[in-house]
């Protein structure tokens, strides 16, 4: 592999030294779709690779109203108080419409938003889930190289975005609400199966008894499912992002999980598998990109889709036609 250009070397050096403005510029470069930017970004991530992999990567999900932004603010503030550096990233495939929820949530992350040891970055402003997730993964590596030792990745969208976040983190935290009855039904089985821990938030005041009941019911539900890891049984805890109760214990569970999976060798295996999956996701995005950018293909697709839907054109024939246009 050729040596990195002086520009890439300087960028890499400034990122490793913790220059926040350079980190932001580099992330914008990572998110760019220009071919020359993509090549520079690939060279940059390659140059920084030896400085990555030392952070604790935490994925966080939960239904709207569960208090994700307040929890991230509380946990992040606790961690920076311990001398850690925290980066908060988002995976939001719908951000083309919403602008990325972290931009709005930043106003609710008052402490982290003003903390010099915290860095908050919304998801890319547009793109498919695979593309957004791939860019978030690369952003994670840049943040690690810049010295952030805890990376929190929030899933903002629904469904597949939760799987994407679980696939790029070490620990997947599912936030739940007190009053387990309806919420237990609403919490998708697939999400529960991904969980390394369920935290019942808003366990304060009049909610405390309901939160404890909810935790016991979530715990019973987890016992029925196979855990994500043979080396870890997912706990269920109660906490209050508002008062800070339970935040330290929550973090201790994350550290225990990290230590246990590291000692067993599972963490290294999982991260290796994630890296390969990232490669294939990025390759698929590159291969599909002409479908979204080639003018002739974009113009022809509505007609081809209509012909397939109406039964005038076989799907296999349509696929050959599109592939032929891309090959021209």
Of 98, 99, 97, 73, nearest in space to 86 by CA: 73
Residue 223 binned pLDDT confidence (cut-offs 50, 70, 90): confident
pLDDT at 151: 98
- Is a pLDDT exceeding 50 seen at residue 230? yes
Q: What is the pLDDT of residues 234-285, one digit of tens each?
A: 999 999 999 999 999 999 999 999 999 999 999 999 999 999 988 998 888 8
* Highest mean pLDDT (candidates 128-132, 195-199, 286-290): 195-199
At 106, is the secondary structure helix, strand, or coil?
coil
In sequence order, what E strands does the chain have? 56-62, 86-91, 118-121, 150-155, 171-176, 197-200, 236-238
Domains of the chain and any CATH numbers = 1-51 (1.20.5.170), 52-264 (3.40.50.300), 279-327 (no CATH)
- Is a pLDDT exceeding 70 seen at residue 138? yes
pLDDT at 110: 84
pLDDT at 34: 86
Please give the Cα distance from 115 to 72 (Å, whole number): 13
Residue 217 binned pLDDT confidence (cut-offs 50, 70, 90): confident
State the chain's mean pLDDT as an integer.
Answer: 87
Element (H, E) at 173: strand 171-176
Please give the Cα distance from 177 to 188 (Å, whole number): 14
Share of the chain above pLDDT 90, in %: 55
Residue 4 binned pLDDT confidence (cut-offs 50, 70, 90): low
Please give the Cα distance from 72 to 80 (Å, whole number): 12
Mean pLDDT of 156-181: 83
Residue 42 binned pLDDT confidence (cut-offs 50, 70, 90): very high
């Amino acid at each position: 592999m050729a040596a990195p250009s002086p520009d890439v070397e300087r960028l890499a050096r400034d990122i490793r030294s913790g220059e926040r403005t350079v980190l932001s510029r580099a992330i914008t470069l990572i998110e760019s779709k220009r071919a020359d930017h993509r090549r520079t970004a690939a060279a940059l991530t390659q140059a920084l690779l030896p400085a990555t992999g030392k952070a604790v990567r935490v994925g966080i999900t939960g239904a709207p109203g569960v208090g994700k932004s307040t929890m991230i603010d509380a946990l992040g503030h606790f961690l920076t108080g311990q001398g850690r550096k925290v980066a908060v990233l988002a995976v939001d495939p719908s951000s083309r419409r919403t602008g990325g929820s972290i931009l709005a949530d930043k106003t609710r992350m008052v402490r982290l938003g003003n903390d010099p040891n915290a860095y908050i970055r919304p998801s890319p402003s547009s793109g498919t889930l695979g593309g957004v997730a791939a860019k978030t993964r690369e952003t994670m590596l840049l943040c690690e190289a810049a010295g952030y030792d805890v990376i929190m990745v929030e899933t903002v969208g629904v469904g597949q975005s939760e799987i994407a976040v679980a696939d790029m983190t070490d620990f997947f935290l599912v936030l739940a609400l007190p009053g387990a009855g309806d919420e237990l039904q609403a919490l998708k089985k697939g999400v529960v199966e991904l969980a390394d821990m369920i935290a019942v938030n808003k366990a304060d005041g009049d909610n405390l008894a309901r939160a404890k009941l909810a935790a016991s019911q979530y715990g019973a539900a987890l016992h029925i499912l196979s855990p994500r890891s043979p080396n870890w049984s997912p706990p269920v805890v109660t906490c209050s992002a508002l008062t800070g109760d339970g935040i330290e214990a929550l973090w201790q569970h994350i550290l225990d999980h990290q230590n246990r999976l590291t000692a067993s060798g599972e963490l290294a295996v999982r991260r290796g598998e994630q890296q390969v999956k990232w490669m294939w996701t990025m390759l698929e995005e590159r291969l599909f990109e002409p479908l979204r950018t080639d003018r002739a293909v974009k113009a022809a697709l509505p007609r081809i889709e209509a012909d397939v839907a109406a039964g005038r054109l076989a799907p296999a024939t349509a696929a050959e036609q599109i592939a032929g246009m891309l090959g021209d």
